[in-house]
Structure 1
Amino acid sequence: MMAPPQTLQQALAVLVCTFQRYSKQEGDRFTLSRGELKELLEKELPSLGDVQVKEGAFEELLSILDANKDGEVDFQEYIRFVAVACTLCHEFFVDSPVVLPRGQ
């Protein structure tokens, strides 16, 4: 019998599957178009909507993420964003008790 996947393994699978779920909606299935990225952020990180940001913030984010300037976000660019988001979360919660998030 195979052991159940560990939390980190599950988290990695979620990151990959989330990218793939949105990237295959239109055009190149290996990249996120502007619309796919916007939908991913709105649905997967809804708390970002609670933050009041300046006009054009999404376009600025897309510009920063799109390192090769092809107008889309590939998996490597997406993972850089996830790494930065994880770093910010770590810094924010560094003194909080360690509690695994509950499933939805």
Structure 2
Amino acid sequence: MQLMIQTFHKYSGNEGDRFTLSKPELKELLVTELGNYLGNAQDKEAVDKVMGDLDSNNDGEVDFTEFIILVGALTVACNDFFQDQKDKQEKKKEKRLQ
């Protein structure tokens, strides 16, 4: 939890409100910290989509609560991916044993 809080505040407040992420701050966080999980976070349309999806109160910024929704969604997606990979490996192992 501490790492998530520190990561958010590392980028929030570089411009404007220190408790929210502006679109440029969000983009920097996505590219630097989550690029491996989000694919092409450099793509302007992708950043706009993430911003639109997260900014639930439509204030043009992402607060910590909105940011945690992203972290939760990514965690679920990663868990599903790794579970699928594990299931595939187990099926291959079963075929070799038959």
TM range (shorter): 0.7 to 0.9
Give unpaired runs (5+ residues) of structure 2. Answer: 88-98
Cα deviation, 1:42-77, whole Å, max 9, x if unaligned, reads 10022257549x872211111010000000000000
The whole-number CA distance in structure 1 between the counterparts of 2:82 and 2:8 is: 25
Relative to 1, partners in 2 of residues 1:39 and 1:50: Cα closer, same or farther, differing over 3 Å? same
Q: Give 1:86 shift.
A: 0.2
Partner of residue 67 from structure 1, selected from 40, 56, 63: 56
User: So what's the TM-score if we normalise by structure 1?
Assistant: 0.72
Could you tell me whether the CA contact under 8 Å between 2:37 and 2:74 is conserved in 1?
A: no
Cα deviation, 1:7-38, whole Å, max 9, x if unaligned, reads xxxxx111000001100211101100000000
Aligned residues: 85
RMSD, aligned CA: 2.3
Give unpaired runs (5+ residues) of structure 1. Answer: 1-11, 97-104
Structure with the higher fraction of residues in helix conformation: 2
Identity %: 43
Is 1:38–2:27 an aligned residue pair? yes
Could you tell me whether the CA contact under 8 Å between 1:42 and 1:48 is conserved in 2?
A: no
The whole-number CA distance in structure 1 between the counterparts of 2:5 and 2:26 is: 14
Could you tell me whether the CA contact under 8 Å between 2:22 and 2:62 is conserved in 1?
A: yes
The whole-number CA distance in structure 2 between the counterparts of 1:42 and 1:17 is: 16
The whole-number CA distance in structure 1 between the counterparts of 2:10 and 2:46 is: 24
Bigger Rg, which one: 2
User: So what's the TM-score if we normalise by structure 2?
Assistant: 0.77
